[in-house]
Amino acid sequence: MASVATSMAALSSPSSSRFGTSVSGPAMMTLSPLVSLSNRRGLPECKGLKIQSYSRLSFASYNSRYPGVSKRRAAVVCEARDTAVDIPAVTDRTWQSLVLKADGPVLVEFWAPWCGPCRMIHPVIGELAQQYAGKLKCFKLNTDDSPSIATQYGIRSIPTIMFFVNGEKKDAVIGAVPKTTLSASIEKFL
């Protein structure tokens, strides 16, 4: 009963909280309650938090902990971008000549720069462009830059990959799908 009375007194006191911190002064919370229920249950008691600031880590200690890791991770991304195939973009002005009047099948990826799944499928489209070079023309259309074409073809989700043959829409694949799914769709039109 004494522990209940102690906890009630601590809760009713305006200058302290049940966690042993001062309410009126600058609070530095220690998570050690005045009445510990964890001791009765056999659980370890929480005595406080240890917070290590990352600013205290020097660059030398960072490199000694992780010798193979460099802080310049952006260089890897740049190298990967150089190896990827750049798919030509199509716009409102070039849509008619590049897609609708093209000889043979055309793949058009409807995408936006802020779309994560679009960025995931870009390398797959690049591989397909290399694989079917000469048999299939591949283009990408930014829906933010050319919303009229996206609206004309009913694009409601991106990425959407559309296949055109002789200026007619033949098929559409919505979402970031595996390369095998896109290859199967391409093979139908070759």
Catalytic residue among 46, 78, 118, 138, which?
118
Work out the pLDDT band at 86, boundaries 50, 70, 90: confident
Question: What average pLDDT is seen over the chain?
Answer: 74
Q: What CATH number is given for 85-187 in this structure?
A: 3.40.30.10
**What three-state secondary structure class fits 50?**
coil
pTM here is: 0.56
Q: Which comes out higher in pLDDT, residue 132 or 56?
A: 132
Q: Is 46 annotated as catalytic?
A: no
pLDDT score of 190: 85
Cβ(95)–Cβ(149) below 8 Å = yes
Hey, what are 50's tokens?
A: 């240890």
**Lowest mean pLDDT, pick from 46-55, 61-70, 78-87, 151-160:** 46-55
- Torsion sign across C-alpha atoms 25, 26, 27, 28: negative
* Mean pLDDT, range 41-62, rounded to an integer: 51
Q: What pLDDT score does 147 carry?
A: 94
CB 162 within 8 A of CB 131: no
Cα–Cα distance, 160 to 163 (Å, whole number): 10
Q: Tell me, yes or no, if 118 is annotated catalytic.
A: yes
Domain residue ranges of the chain, discontinuous segments joined by +? 1-37, 85-187
The pLDDT of 25-44, averaged and rounded, is 47
Q: Which of 46, 78, 115, 138 is catalytic?
A: 115
The model's confidence at residue 29, banded by pLDDT at 50, 70 and 90, is very low
- Percent of the chain past pLDDT 90, that is, above it, reads 52
SS3 readout for the chain: CHHHHHHHHHHHCCCECCCCCECCCCCCCCCCCCCCCHHHHCCCCCCCCCCCCHHHCCHHHHHHHCCCCCCCCHHHHHHHHHHCCCCCECCCCCHHHHHHCCCCEEEEEEECCCCHHHHHHHHHHHHHHHHCCCCCEEEEEECCCCHHHHHHCCCCCCCEEEEEECCEEEEEEECCCCHHHHHHHHHCCC
